Amino acid sequence: MIIEKLNIKAFGRLRDYELELSPGVNIIEGENESGKSTLCAFIKFIFYGIPAKERAAYASWSDSRADGSLTFSVDGHRYRVERSLTPNGERQSFRESLQIIDLADNSPCHKGESPGELFFGPDADMFAATAFVSQLGNSTGGAKVAEGIENLLFSADETVNTQRALSKLDAARVKLLHKNGSGGRLYELDTECAELEGRLANALKNHDEIAKKESKLADLRKNASDNSKKAELLRRKLSQFELRTIARFFKRMHEYEQQTAELRQKIDASGAPDPELINKLRSESERFASLRSDYDAAEAACADDSLPPRDPQLDSKLDEYTRRGGADGINAEYSTLKSKSSAFAFGAAATLVIGVVAAVLPFLLPSILPKLIAVIGAVIAAIGVTLFILSARSRSAAAKLYEEFDVDTLENELAARCEAEETAKYAARARDEAKKRYEEFIANLSRELGLTGASDDDITAALTARLNELTSQLGSAESLKAEYDKSSERLGEMREQLSRYNEADVTAAVDMSIDISDIDKANYNDMKRLADFCEKSSASLGVAANATEKELAGLYPVSENPAKLSDRLESLKRERESLRAKHAAYLLAYDKLVEASENLRRSVSPRLSADASKLLGAVTGGKYTEVGVGGELELSALTDNGTKSINFLSTGTRDAAYLCLRFALTRLVFTKCAPPMIFDESFAHIDDKRLAILLRIVATQEQSIILTSNSRDADAMRALGEFKLIKM
């Protein structure tokens, strides 16, 4: 690539500044703070833009803009890149504009692409670490640049980071399965599959039980419904059979009513007396005879001579017995007499003993005292005799009392007398009641016959005559009467049987659309029992269905859907198999990527080492011809004292070594298009001899831009060949 022209409208301290460059070496001289580093930053800005954190530093000092263009040619094509950053309002933000113009037709091209990455390949960091050598920036950036080189060589894309890829592969592997096997998605899937398999087994068991119970429940409900419907149908048929039977019974009753009315009309037309009147008179005649008989029997009972005659003496004795309290009074009186007799006997015995003692004492005691005692003893003896007499009288009175009043006999006689009196009273009451009934009946009958005040015999004769007369008149219509009586009796029975039914309701309830041809009087009870059986069966089946439903209600909450569990399990197994394959692929990819990365690093280091050694050997006049490049691009050199880190050498040698490494890196990294090499005060620490050698190497590049604050670089180049000198 050849940069032809720079047009800086506003960038840092530079404003409206144009600069034309030539192929080969371009040396730009300027004093310190003249804008050399700003010019370098502008080139990087055009190709890569400015990071947000650096925008304020490179915005125009006058209006905070960054604006300009760069014209270059590459592979026979000429382009102009226009880029600008404009402040966006009062906030610390910018609006960026970028265009790549194809100068063949002045048309925009490669819209949305970064010019640096489009034409060079590597990103801004790689560009700055290789082709863009700023002040105090001869070193390359170590591990980061080494990593970028590896990425570029590995995938042709510096942003595709091998280490990040390995980290992502390892993270993806760990995400699937931890190294100890106790974590990660595969571990979770194994655990979940095991759990689901157990749940599925239980679900299948419960599902089978539920299916059986649901089938049983369906059968129970169907059978219950069938029995209920059958019972309902039978009930309806039985009800219709009953209603139609009752309706027919009403019809027959009306026929009997008509028949009875017609017989009544015939009897009335025949002139025969009313059978009901005859029946009434006959009943009254029979009633009269019965009442008369009852009255006569009651009179006879009152005058019954069969009752025993009353004994006045016995009645007097019974009255006395009753007055003295009956059996209880006599017994009490007897006990009193016996007690007195015993008391008198005891007193008599005591006085006699005292008297005997008194009679004996005179013979034992001297003087007058014995005489006195003898007198007292005689008195006491007399008292004892008196008490013996009283005791004997009391015993005699007690014996006479029981002799006079034989309690058992008198009690029987008293009971017999009471019974006779009650019988007589009952007979009198019965006679009075019979007489009352008889007299009331006679009074009513005499009024009916118009014989008020007539004698009983006249009334009886009149009743008999009237009855005989009517019976004689009825003789000719007896057959009609018998038929009428039979019809009336049957009609009464039918009315009694139908009294609890309303004919209008029965007629309205009859539904002739219901077929009852299979029910008759013979099988009515069997059909009724069948309806009862169906109802009970339906109820029993309903109870069983409810019990089964409760069992299912207990199973449903704890039962899972086997189909869902199976689908979930299969889905997890498929995911597990897929992830197992992916895990194996991750392991394989990780191992292969590590192997490839190591192989690539082993192949890159010798190439960089060879190129850097060749360049450094030329710069140092063959003193350092072997340069080692480490994994992080750290340098070492073979010295007389063995291999030493480049940091142990002089500053000039170290800078020269890193410049040589940059040349080697540029050749290695920029495979699409080699960018111009930009050196900003990069040779300040290198002696003149080595500077001349480095400039000779720089001159081999397609285009190089050297920015310096002195004329030493230009003086050295004059001895080497052509170059373009630009004064700022």
Q: How many CB atoms lie within 10 A of CB 113?
A: 12
- Higher pLDDT, residue 309 or 684: 684
* Residue 158 confidence (pLDDT): 40
The answer to whether position 415 is within a domain reads yes
* Residue 342 confidence (pLDDT): 79
The answer to whether position 319 is within a domain reads yes
Among the listed residues 612, 620, 637, the one whose alpha carbon sits nearest the alpha carbon of residue 693: 620
Whose tokens are 């974590």? That residue is 183
The answer to whether position 486 is within a domain reads no
- Higher pLDDT, residue 161 or 25: 25
User: How far is C-alpha 327 from the geometric centre of its chain's CA atoms?
Assistant: 91
The answer to whether position 252 is within a domain reads no
Whether residue 459 has pLDDT greater than 60: yes
Q: At what angle do helices 275-302 and 407-449 cross, to 10 degrees?
A: 150
Give the tokens for residue 157.
């894309």
The answer to whether position 664 is within a domain reads no
- Higher pLDDT, residue 669 or 270: 669
The pLDDT of 51-59, averaged and rounded, is 79
- Check if the beta carbon of residue 411 is closer than 8 Å to that of residue 327: yes
Whose tokens are 């017989």? That residue is 263
The pLDDT of 179-194, averaged and rounded, is 87
Output the CA torsion sign for 253, 254, 260, 264. positive
The pLDDT of 607-630, averaged and rounded, is 78
Q: How far apart are CA 425 and CA 7, in angstroms?
A: 165
User: What residues pair up with 109 in beta bridges, in sequence order?
Assistant: 100
Q: How far apart are CA 18 and CA 9, in angstroms?
A: 8
Output the CA torsion sign for 232, 234, 239, 244. positive
Whether residue 708 has pLDDT greater than 90: yes
The pLDDT of 149-158, averaged and rounded, is 41
β strands within 104-165, DSSP E:
107-109, 132-133
Among the listed residues 156, 105, 137, the one whose alpha carbon sits nearest the alpha carbon of residue 677: 137
The three state secondary structure string of 376-400 is HHHHHHHHHHHHHHHHHHHHHHHHH
- DSSP states along 318-364: HHHHHHTTHHHHHHHHHHHHHHHHHHHHHHHHHHHHHHHHHHHGGGT
Q: What is the pLDDT of residues 99-113, one digit of tens each?
A: 999 999 999 999 989
Among the listed residues 14, 116, 18, the one whose alpha carbon sits nearest the alpha carbon of residue 65: 14
Q: How confident is the model at residue 173 (pLDDT cuts 50, 70, 90)?
A: confident
The pLDDT of 524-552, averaged and rounded, is 92
Q: Of the ranges 342-356, 474-488, 588-602, which one carries the lowest mean pLDDT score?
A: 588-602
Whether residue 314 has pLDDT greater than 50: yes
Instruction: Among 55-69, 92-106, 462-476, name the most confident range.
Output: 92-106
Pairing of strands 24-29, 724-727: parallel
Q: How far apart are CA 667 and CA 656, in angstroms?
A: 17
Q: How far apart are CA 682 and CA 656, in angstroms?
A: 9
The answer to whether position 388 is within a domain reads yes
Q: What is the pLDDT of residues 407-438, one digit of tens each?
A: 677 777 777 777 777 777 877 887 788 778 87
Whether residue 619 has pLDDT greater than 60: yes
* Residue 92 confidence (pLDDT): 64
* Domain range enclosing 352: 312-428
* Residue 595 confidence (pLDDT): 66
Percent residues over pLDDT 70 in the chain:
84
Instruction: Among 137-141, 145-149, 604-608, name the most confident range.
Output: 604-608
Residue 705 has φ and ψ, to the nearest 5°, of -125, 115
The answer to whether position 381 is within a domain reads yes
Whether residue 302 has pLDDT greater than 80: no
Output the CA torsion sign for 428, 432, 433, 438. positive
Whether residue 135 has pLDDT greater than 80: no
Number of domains in the chain: 1
Could you tell me the pTM of the whole model?
A: 0.42
Whether residue 145 has pLDDT greater than 50: no
The answer to whether position 393 is within a domain reads yes
Q: What is the mean pLDDT of the chain?
A: 81
Distances from the Cα of 430 to the Cα of 69, 284, 423, 450, 456, angstroms:
158, 22, 10, 30, 20
